[in-house]
Amino acid sequence: MATVTLSSVGKIYEGGVRAVRGVSMSIADGEFVVLVGPSGCGKSTTLRMIAGLEDISEGTISIGDRVVNEVEPADRNIAMVFQNYALYPHLTVKQNLAFGLDRRRRYPSRLRAMFDGDYGRRRLEESSQLDARIAEAARMLGIDGLLRRMPRELSGGQRQRVAVGRAIVRNPAAFLFDEPLSNLDARLRQDMRTELRLLHRRLKSTMIYVTHDQEEAMSLADRIVVMKDGVVQQLGTPGELFRTPANAFVAGFIGTPAMNLIRGRVGASGGAFKWSGGKHSLSPGAGAAADRDALMGVRPERVSIEPGDEGTLETVEVYGETADLVARIGDQRVVARIQTQELRALREGEGVSARFADGHAHLFDAQSGEAIAHGV
């Protein structure tokens, strides 16, 4: 296990295309960190630079106490799990699990073992240790009954377990995961998220994980790195990102359903936030903001949609015990999440008004998107 440190890391491709800009972070020994963001934000490029699969254009990357900018991927003591599993179709599950270490064996020669008894003893001892590591990884992942099968005989979830097991057998300083669950169906993704979290708890290893799915990030991470356009927008625990987003992008990206971001204006001297179409306003408090265009962020769970004359209820989406109400008020949409039993007489197409829970809104500058105030 090891710490992983990035200092002002950047990536510039031919033609001057800058994919990653000044990324700095320190990942603690045994920490589970998730890089999350939309497609093209630079998260996979950052992971590949840590792995050594992409050259860095600027900055430094350290694994433990060693700067690895010029170190070959095979010598960085990391293991990477890819989106497409990357299993060898002509090898059994056991042979796939052993492949990475088998190529690194100190005593590979069977012919020499026939004539050199001491060499043969050491080779046998090494083989026994490798078999024990394979058996332990297979047991841990529940694939110990599949060791003789070929990859084509496995389901998607089983193949992903084999790919993870191959990384475990290597006992690396850090595990890197590049969207490993994106090829699985929804139920399998949920099951594998649980397995990965339990695996991290058992191994206590440093894990760096890339995904575009913020729910996956929230459920897995000790800390989350939110990226956009190659820049880190915020780094913090899931709770910190959810409760105190640094800017409007993080606010809208983290959370399901997405946070409502309502356009309006804050009056002078911290006056009330007023928005077009809506009558209900909130005060950010003196000094928090003054006479500027702003975005008010409110989680759907903190919005009430009631019969009224401000706008129209567009849709009602029922998900078992909860329901999402989507209302059009003025030129803006407002989403509320409620308990299904609270639907009462609300009907699609009817007039409604919106209210927000005091103390649970956020204000962001309309131009920069940076946070102005929390808990409004």
Give yes or no: residues 348 and 320 share one domain.
yes
User: Average pLDDT, whole number, for the chain?
Assistant: 88
Q: Is residue 170 part of a domain?
A: yes
197 and 90 within one domain:
yes
Give the sign of the dihedral formed by CA 28, CA 29, CA 32, CA 35.
Answer: positive
pLDDT for 101: 67
Domain contains 119: yes
Better-predicted residue by pLDDT, 2 or 278: 2
Assign residue 158 the CATH number of its domain: 3.40.50.300
Q: 94 with 154, same domain?
A: yes
Q: Among 40-44, 119-123, 166-170, 225-229, where is mean pLDDT lowest? A: 119-123
Q: Where are the alpha helices (DSSP H) in 142-181?
A: 156-169
Kindly state whether residues 237 and 271 are assigned to the same domain: no
- Let me know: does 37 contact 227? Beta carbons within 8 Å: yes
Q: Check which CATH number belongs to the domain holding 314 and give it.
A: 2.40.50.100
- CA nearest to 24, candidates 52, 62, 54, 51: 62
One domain for residues 265 and 236:
no
Tens-place pLDDT, residues 210-268: 999 999 999 999 999 999 999 999 999 999 999 999 999 999 999 989 999 999 888 76
Structural domain total, the chain: 2
Top-confidence range, 137-141, 186-190, 205-209 = 205-209
pLDDT tens by residue, 110-138: 555 556 566 666 767 777 778 888 898 88
What are the two backbone dihedrals, phi and then psi, of residue 296, each rounded to the nearest 5 degrees? -100, 120
Shared domain check, 212 and 74 = yes
Question: Which residues have C-beta within 8 Å of that of residue 123, sequence separation ≥ 6?
Answer: 107, 109, 110, 113
Query: Which has the closest alpha carbon to 218: 199, 249, 197?
Result: 197
Instruction: Write out the residue range of the structural domain in which residue 302 sits.
Output: 260-374
Residues 237 and 301 in one domain: no
Domain final position from 241, 269, 290: 241
Q: Token digits for 24?
A: 């700095």
Q: Of 241, 273, 293, which one is at a domain's C-terminal end?
A: 241
- The pLDDT tens digits for 273-293 are 888 777 777 776 545 556 788
Q: Where are the beta strands (DSSP E) in the chain?
A: 4-13, 17-27, 32-36, 58-63, 66-67, 78-81, 174-178, 206-211, 223-228, 231-236, 260-266, 273-274, 292-298, 303-319, 322-329, 332-339, 351-356, 361-365, 371-374
- Residue 110's pLDDT is 58
* pLDDT beyond 70 at 106: no
User: Residue 42 domain-assigned?
Assistant: yes
* 194 & 321 share domain: no
Read off the pLDDT band of 15 (50, 70, 90). Answer: confident
- Answer yes or no: do 130 and 35 share one domain: yes
In a domain, 246, yes or no: no
Average pLDDT over residues 162-169: 89
Indicate the range of 5-9, 103-107, 290-294 predicted with least confidence: 103-107
pLDDT score for 108: 58
49 contact partners, CB below 8 Å, separation of at least 6: 9, 11, 20, 55, 56, 61
Residue 247, in any domain of the structure: no
Of the chain, the end-to-end C-alpha distance in Å amounts to 43
In a domain? residue 158: yes
Would residue 183 count as lying in a domain?
Answer: yes
Question: Are residue 43 and residue 145 in the same domain, yes or no?
Answer: yes
On whether both 231 and 270 belong to a single domain, the answer is no
- Residue recorded with tokens 């567009």: 314
Across 310-335, average pLDDT:
93
Identify whether residues 179 and 152 lie together within a single domain. yes
Is position 249 within any domain? no
Supply the pLDDT for residue 136.
Answer: 87
Full-model pTM = 0.88
Q: Does residue 69 carry a pLDDT above 90?
A: yes
* Domain end residue (candidates: 241, 272, 290): 241
State percent of the chain over pLDDT 70: 90
The structure tokens listed for 369 are: 């998107």
Give the pair of three-digit tokens for residue 69. 């900018």
Residue 303, CB-side half-sphere exposure with 13 Å CA sphere:
27
| Alpha-carbon gap, residue 48 to 54, rounded angstroms | 5
